[in-house]
Amino acid sequence: TDGNYQENMPATEIAKITTDNPWYILGAGAMGCLWASYLTLAGLPVVLITRNKRNGNAINLTKANHSQSITIKQITLGELKPSTLTIKHLLVTTKAQQTISALSDIKPHIDNDAILFILQNGMAGKHIANLLPTQQLITGITTDGAYRTDELSVVHAGTGETLLGDKSIIDCLPKNHLAIKFCDDIDNKQWQKLAINCAINGLTAIYQCRNGELLENEEALSRIKLLCNEITAVMHALGLSVHQSIFDQTLHTLTITADNYSSMYQDCQQQQSTEIDFINGYLCSEAQRLNINCPENQRVLAAIKQIEQSYAQ
Ligand code: KPL
């Protein structure tokens, strides 16, 4: 499905990225810095929107022990607000729980016809669509692994792939640097990713371990089984096809990301709010709507909420 659609597509339908009309990136975390780097390397103009002024204007990108410094244009929210600047292309890489507040901050600058490419864990899509009803929202799902070692240094630790639910922007993305593919079944893929995050992320924060260590923990494994059964029931009730068992997919992800610390583990370690409301929280609210019991997901949700509350003490 990917790759050779372009010949049939009129040039006017392909969004144009120029210096006057760059990719703006909201969310300068690991994914935001990674994409800012690769978009720049692909020759596409980029502006990183940051809350506070950063020390320096270069991102240090490391992949397979090779580091390079990439100059990136940045604008702070304070500089953006009084300007008349209009955003036509926005890559959203904020954490799910920060997305609505961050988008509300820049909403006056987002063009009514803007394209938003949303690349994050969890299910925040509906809230974004309510906030920005006229803009085109394109969902992306990525299995690339990245972490930051400081504000502007990012390590591309695991090479995965990025799927997106719309072809129109593929030529405006760094497809020579990242494995980017169109997916005609993005809602299903997003649910599979949600399912895996429901089964892994909370437990790594509860047992305070790397992903792979869950495989050696019998109690954790039996909880993963329960979580997967509940998620599968919800997916079936929603009419989503589950080709490969969610439990098998989870075990596979745990094996290939064995050395990773999950994003939720990292958030808890840094005493930051987590994406739990958009992962197990979302699953539980869908289950409730469908009258399906999800006690194990509720248990994980409650345990992570308790961890978050303990920071405030
Ligand atoms: O997506 C992830 C995350 O940490 O958020 C997994 C797949 C669990 C990898 O760590």
Mutate to test the pocket of ligand 1, among 211, 250, 267, 276 (most ligand atoms within 8 A of CB): 211
Q: What pLDDT score does 271 carry?
A: 95
Q: Which of 2-16, 27-41, 214-228, 229-243 has the lowest mean pLDDT?
A: 2-16
Q: How much distance in Å is there from the Cα of 263 to the middle of ligand 1?
A: 6
**pLDDT on residue 22:** 96
Average of per-residue pLDDT across 276-301: 98
Q: Are 36 and 25 in contact (CB under 8 A)?
A: yes
Name the more confident of 33 and 8: 33
pLDDT tens digits, residue range 198-208?
999 999 999 99
pLDDT at res. 114? 97
Question: How many CB atoms sit inside 10 A of residue 195's CB?
Answer: 25
* Contact (Cβ atoms closer than 8 angstroms) between residue 72 and residue 36: yes
ipTM here: 0.98
- pLDDT computed for residue 6 by the predictor: 39
Separation of CA 258 and ligand 1 centre (Å): 10
pLDDT surpasses 60 at 12: no
Q: Which long-range contacts does 146-149 make (Cβ < 8 Å, 24+ apart)?
A: 146/30, 146/31, 146/33, 146/34, 147/30, 147/266, 148/29, 148/30, 148/33
The position carrying tokens 């204007």 is: 57
pLDDT value at 233 more than 50: yes
**Model-wide pTM > 0.80:** yes
On the question of pLDDT at 10 being above 60, the answer is: no
Which residues line the pocket of ligand 1, CB cutoff 6 A? 121, 196-197, 200-201, 211, 253, 257, 260, 262-263
Ranges of H-type helices in the chain: 30-41, 77-80, 96-106, 125-131, 186-207, 218-237, 246-256, 263-269, 280-289, 295-312
151 contacts 55 by C-beta, under 8 angstroms: yes
The model's pLDDT over 106-152, given as tens digits with 9 standing for 90+, comes to 999 999 999 999 999 999 988 999 999 999 999 999 988 888 889 89
Position in ligand 1 atom list of the atom nearest CA 253: 7
Atom of ligand 1 nearest to the CA of 197: 8
Q: State how far the alpha carbon of 170 is from the alpha carbons of 1, 178, 187, in Å.
A: 12, 11, 18
Q: Are 204 and 223 in contact (CB under 8 A)?
A: no
